Structure 1
Amino acid sequence: MWIRKPVDLLYFEHAVLRVRYSIALSLMDNCEEKAIQLLQETHRFVVDWHAKIEDKYFFPLLGDKARPFTNDHLLIEKYGSSAISQRRRDWIERYVKIVLDHNLNEERELFPILSLEDNALEKIFEEAKAYPNYSSITGLRLED
C-alpha cells in the first residue's frame, strides 16, 4: 500500500473528493437524482469522517494555525446540507468550490508541516473500518 503516513491518507481522500464531486456536477444536467445521491453520500463522508479525523488527529497538533480550517468544517457541514437538500445547482456548485478550495488550502498551508506518529495511521484505519461504506467510497481496501 502506498499510504505509509497519516498525511498520505488525507491527500488520498482529497483526491477521492475531487473525483466524486466532479462526477456529481457532471451528472446534474442529465441524471439529477444520481447526482444528488452522490453529493449526499460524499457530503456525509466529508462531515462524518474526513473532517472529524482531521479535527481529531491532525489539527490539534497545529494549534491556532488550524482554527480557520476547523471553522470551515462547520461552514461546509451547514452550507452543504442546505445546498443539497434544496437541490439548488448554484448553491451546490458554490458548496463544491468551498470544499475543494478548503482542501487545497489545507494541502498548501497545513499538510507540509504536519508530523504525526506513523502508528496513528493504524488507529485511523481501525476507525475507518467502522465507518459505513469507507471502502466503497474511497476504493481503499482496509484489509491490506
Structure 2
Amino acid sequence: MDVITLLKIEHGILRVRFQIIKELLDQCESKAFLLLEETHNFVVKWHAMIEDKYVFPLYGEKAKPFSHDHLLIEKYGNSVLKERRKDWVERYIKIVLDHNLNEENQLFDHNVNIPLSKILGELENFKDYNKITGLDLTKL
C-alpha cells in the first residue's frame, strides 16, 4: 500500500466517524463532542500533517489551496470545540468532507507513489492511530 491509498482509506474512516458524530449530537451531546475532539485531533495532528509534509510537496503549486484549507479546518475545528456549538458542527464536517473529496478528485494521483515506510516513523508522534482508524500500519 502507498500513502495516497492510505489517505483515501482515512477519508472513508472520517466519513463514518462524522456520520456517527452527527447521529450522536441529538442523543448524547457530550459523547458527540468527545468523538469530534478525537476526530479533529486525528485530522489536524496526523492526516493533514502527513499530507502537508509528504504528499503536497510533490504536487507543487497545485496543492497550495489544499494546504491552506488545513489551516481553516484546524482553526474552525478548534473554535467548534471551544465554543461547543452544535450548530457549527455540521458546517465543520461539511468543510472537511468537501476538502477530502476535492483532494481525491483534483489532486491525488496514483502515479505519485509514496511508500508507506516513509511515514511509519511519524506513528511515534500519534499514538492513537490504531484506536481511531482500526489499522495497524506496521503490519501493512
> TM class by shorter-chain length?
over 0.9
1:51 to 41, 48, 53: 48
**Whole-angstrom CA distance in 2 between matches of 1:105 and 1:114:** 17
Hey, what does 2:73 align to over in structure 1?
Answer: 76
- The TM-score with structure 2 as length reference comes to 0.94
Paired amino acid for 2:97: L
Q: Is the 8 A contact 1:18 1:100 kept in 2?
A: yes
TM-score, normalized by length of structure 1?
0.91
**Between the two proteins, what is the percent identity of the paired residues?**
57
Once the two structures are superposed, residues 85-123 of structure 1 have per-residue CA deviations (whole angstroms, 9 ceiling, x without a partner) of 2121221110000000000000001112650342xx112
Higher relative contact order (CA 8 A, sep 6+): 2
* 2:137 corresponding residue in structure 1: 142
Q: CA separation in 2, counterparts of 1:98 and 1:134? A: 22
Structure 2 residue runs of 5 or longer lacking an equivalent are none
Summarize the alignment of residues 1-144 of structure 1 with structure 2, pairs less than 5 Å apart.
4-112=1-109, 115-118=112-115, 121-144=116-139
The answer on whether the counterparts of 1:7 and 1:114 sit within 8 Å (CA) in structure 2 is: no
Query: Match of 1:29, SS?
Result: helix
Supply the RMSD in Å over aligned alpha carbons. Answer: 1.3
Deviations, residues 18-72 of structure 1 (Å, cap 9, x unaligned): 1111101110011111100000000001011100100000000111100000000
Q: Which runs of 5+ in 1 are unaligned?
A: none
